[in-house]
């Protein structure tokens, strides 16, 4: 794989050993997405060319392939299967989902219909956490929810910022971010001294 992107044999062997654990690739490792992109580079180029010629939008996240637009699905699957086979892979037929327009379309946890948005469940969970923080305060909320993370507010800010990355104009998430950042500031400010 590393030879194919221009590294010499010695560097390629070193990088392969660095990325492997007990002579296999660990699933979910920080390197997984990068290695997937290296491995799928030629596949992506071939499929992208076909999709461009047929006015189909193609994206890939790790091993999740997404196609959108008006298309002949059986012809597309034939092309995808042929390309996967050429590169030594095969499609997991159990994971195939065809989503028609007019239905809620979720791709890698993101609703991608008209406006990109996270799932309703993800958004409601954030709303609930912010509501409880406002109603009960940080300490009571953490004790009732069995949260033990010392960086709970930072974690919640990260979840909200992820939602804003998907949809930067989401007014509710912007308001939640403001609330949680104010709570974070209030809970990290040094105690005021009485003079």
Number of domains in the chain: 3
Long-range contact pairs involving 130-137 (C-beta distance under 8 Å, separation at least 24): 130/156, 130/176, 130/179, 130/180, 133/179, 133/180, 133/183, 134/179
Stretch 26-55: mean pLDDT: 84
Q: Based on the domain organization, do 94 and 121 belong to the same domain?
A: no
Q: What is the C-alpha separation between 93 and 64, in angstroms, rounded?
A: 12
**Domain interval for residue 68:** 40-98
CA-nearest of 118, 122, 80 to 98 is 80
Angle, alpha carbons 19-21-26 (nearest 5°): 75
Stretch 58-75: mean pLDDT: 82
pLDDT at 193: 40
Q: Based on the domain organization, do 182 and 121 belong to the same domain?
A: yes
Q: Based on the domain organization, do 20 and 63 belong to the same domain?
A: no
Q: What band does 194 get if pLDDT is binned at 50, 70 and 90? A: very low
The CATH number of residue 50's host domain is 3.30.70
pLDDT exceeds 70 at position 160: yes
pLDDT digits (tens, 9 = 90+) for 88-147: 888 888 877 666 665 666 665 666 555 566 778 888 999 999 999 999 888 888 887 777
DSSP letter for 109, please: T
Contacts of 101 (CB under 8 A, 6+ apart): none
């Amino acid at each position: 794989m590393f030879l194919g992107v221009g590294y010499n044999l010695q560097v390629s062997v070193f990088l392969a050993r660095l990325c492997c654990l007990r002579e296999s690739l660990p699933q979910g490792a920080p390197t997984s997405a990068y290695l997937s992109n290296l491995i799928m580079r030629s596949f992506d180029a071939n499929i992208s060319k076909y999709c461009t010629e047929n006015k189909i939008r193609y994206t890939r996240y790790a091993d999740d392939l997404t196609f959108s637009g008006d298309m002949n699905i059986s012809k597309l699957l034939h092309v995808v299967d042929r390309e996967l086979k050429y590169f030594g892979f095969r499609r997991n037929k159990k994971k195939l989902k065809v989503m028609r327009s007019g239905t809620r379309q979720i791709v890698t946890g993101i609703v991608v219909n008209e406006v990109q948005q996270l799932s309703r469940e993800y958004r409601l969970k954030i709303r609930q956490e912010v509501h409880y923080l406002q109603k009960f305060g940080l300490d009571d909320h953490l004790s009732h929810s069995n949260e033990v993370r010392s960086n709970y507010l930072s974690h919640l800010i990260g979840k909200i910022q992820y939602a804003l990355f998907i949809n930067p104009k989401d007014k509710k998430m912007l308001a939640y971010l403001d609330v949680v950042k104010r709570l974070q500031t209030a809970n990290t400010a040094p105690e005021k001294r009485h003079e």
